[in-house]
A and B are shown apart, each in its own frame.
Chain A
Amino acid sequence: MDDLIVKTITKLVVPFIQLYGIFVILHGHLSPGGGFAGGAIIGASLILFTLAFGVNHTNKVVPPSVTEKIETGGIIWYALLGFVGIAVGTSFLSNKIAGFPLGNYGSVISGGLISLATIGIGLKVASTMITLFHRIIEED
């Protein structure tokens, strides 16, 4: 697409969409939302960037090797959080018994395992959406 209005508006709007997506992920335990909705918002902003500027330009800005590492890093981070519970002495994926600091009620840093797991899920969903879109829309 070679429209000038679409390119200018996209350059102005995409940082605000990503900021909103990061806000929804980080406040996953205080307000409705969570990992899946926040990851979908960040993925949608990168799909908008791809539609306005073309696939070749987006592959220089966000190369496929970076999205591969984010995707595998998300799953390995989630599994390592589960193994902390086994290392202490209780069962897999435990929160209060394994000694995670719970924090104050109602602040952003609270909940122990919940905030860390939400960040892992959000990154994984965003990288999945952009990888699927690039694979399907690529031509020879």
Chain B
Amino acid sequence: MKTQRISARRAVVLGIGGAVSAVLLAACGGGSSGGDSAPSLDPNADLSKQSIVVSNWDAYMDPDAALKFTDTTKANMTVANHATNEEIVGKLTAGGDPGIDVAFVSGQYAQALNDAGLLEPIDPNLVPNLANLYPESKNLAFDPGNKFSVPYAWGTTGICYREDLVASPPTSWNDLLNPAPEYEKKTLMLSTQPWLNLPAAKALGFSANTTNDGELEQIKQQLLKTKPTLLGFDDVTFYERLASGEVVMAVAWDGWCNYSGDPNVKFVVPSEGADLWADTMVVLKSSKNKEAAMAYINFMIGDEMQGWMTNNILYKSPNKAVAEKAAAELGADYPNIAMTPADLAKGEGLIDLGEASKIYQQIATEVQAS
């Protein structure tokens, strides 16, 4: 039940949703408005006079979040949905007032938005629940010290595998990149960057964020060598392919192995290491209700909303008490939930690649077209 809802959600959000989201969604040019630092926020503002618009991935938060937020703070709230990071960033950078107060974006995109001067600094006085987060989650590579973003969920990337269908569990990215003959055509990789590059980058000992031309060339050569051994690239239904037994190993975001609903599907972070990603909340500088926006972020990293997220999305919570409770209750069934922040923090934080994102995309095109 839970899993079904989640898999539907993920399919909509990242896969199909991404695929069908309008290509020409923003016809206007970019160009970002800088701006002076806003006047400091008023801790005694009357939130009942404020109203915010929050843009999030569909079904990524408690469906009653808006009601509960209004009950708690008296501020009004409207929810908008976006399908992908690129879609919301396109909307926010298109110029003019996007009409959005708080946006959910992955960390590297929060960094890009902040570089464009679009984000309001987080006021820690208005987000007291920050004190309940793991220190590791407050020191993420894209935003050390939560200057402009607050993590909502975090995790890593590894290999999902069928314990009953492999001779021994994979321990290295090379187990998938250069598979034993019996596993050929029984493996999948993610086609979305930077996760397409990640296994090869880590296996070769490079940074997950490398922008070095020579290293990127070596990564590409490895991927071109791996491709004939893959069944395909699949960002959408890979956990179903694992559940059906068509594939025995797949590169996967940690929470997604759980959606297969099959106890034989296990998750491992290979010994060469992986990434550390976070989905964050940011407040737009253009917001006219910043106090309510900060209160919303505070509410979303509180115990109730974080509890909903980790129990329903099966991603790890950066909220210490919630994560420890979830690890105790769910860790046996969903091993990724049991990972400690120390384990997670071994992953390399993903950052905005700027201009190099084009090279990453060109590698993706070349590998898939080969």
Q: Tell me if chain B binds chain A.
A: no
Which positions in A face B, CB cutoff 8 Å?
A: none
